[in-house]
Amino acid sequence: MQKIDLKKELQQLYQPSAKEVVQVDVPTMNYLMIDGEGDPNTSQVYADAIEALFTVSYAVKFMIKKGPLAIDYGVMPLEGLWWADDMSTFLLEDKANWKWTMMIMQPDFVTVAMIDSAIADVSKKKNPAAISRVRFEPLSEGTCAQILHLGPFSEEGPTIEKVHAFIEARGKRTGKHHEIYLSDIRKADPSKWKTIIRQPML
């Protein structure tokens, strides 16, 4: 049985410093994704999306662990792309108008056939509400600025401003606001939540 620590292998992308914004080159990676909109704090659609993404991700993990590849790896953290049609409403935290793509990165040895098989299996056994909305797609972000935010989501503002200032001194923002959730917010104290703030740049 081969064991892989993806967070360690991708340390520069998934273990940034909280002290300073850094520039990183993010390769094209494959993700399970679900799109939606609305306030993540109150939306059942959002909760259903998270359930489906993790259920399928774990199904894939165990399929690979028990299958011919015999590779054991940890399921990667939840990530989110966030935006609004009118970005001023996004900045004003009018969460009802937020749009999002929630996603979980999959190792490069995961194939479309494996995902299809896992989705079929999950549909039979658990059939989570959002299973029909799960898709498997590559995401290419390229050059990005990122930093680790420590604390609750409601206090991200100054951290995001740091990232934007870093980019504006070097170029301009592109793509979507990207967050990577390293903590289990059901268990961890909000003051200790770890969230990577990432923004593509030109």
Domains observed in the chain: 15-27+141-202 (3.20.80.10), 29-139 (3.20.80.10)
* pLDDT above 90 (res 89): no
Alpha-carbon span 173 to 200, nearest angstrom: 6
Residue 187: predicted pLDDT? 82
Cβ contact 35:43 at 8 Å: no
Backbone angles phi, psi at 19, to 5 degrees: -85, -35
Residue 95 has pLDDT above 90, yes or no: no
The Cα 24–Cα 6 span in angstroms is 17
Mean pLDDT of 34-53: 94
Which conformational region is residue 70 in: left (phi greater than 0), alpha (psi within -120 to 50 degrees), or beta? left
Model pTM? 0.95
Query: Which residues 6+ apart lie within 8 Å of 155 measured at CB?
Result: 149
Closest CA to 193 of 202, 183, 201: 183
Asked if 145 and 23 count as a contact pair (C-beta separation under 8 A), the reply is yes
Question: Taking all residues of the chain, what is their mean pLDDT, rounded to a whole number?
Answer: 94
Contacts of residue 150, defined as CB under 8 A and 6 or more positions apart, other chains included, come to 18, 191, 192, 193, 194
Map tokens 């993010």 to a residue. Answer: 26
Q: State both tokens at 103.
A: 């996603």
Provide the pLDDT for residue 91.
Answer: 62
pLDDT for the residue 109: 97
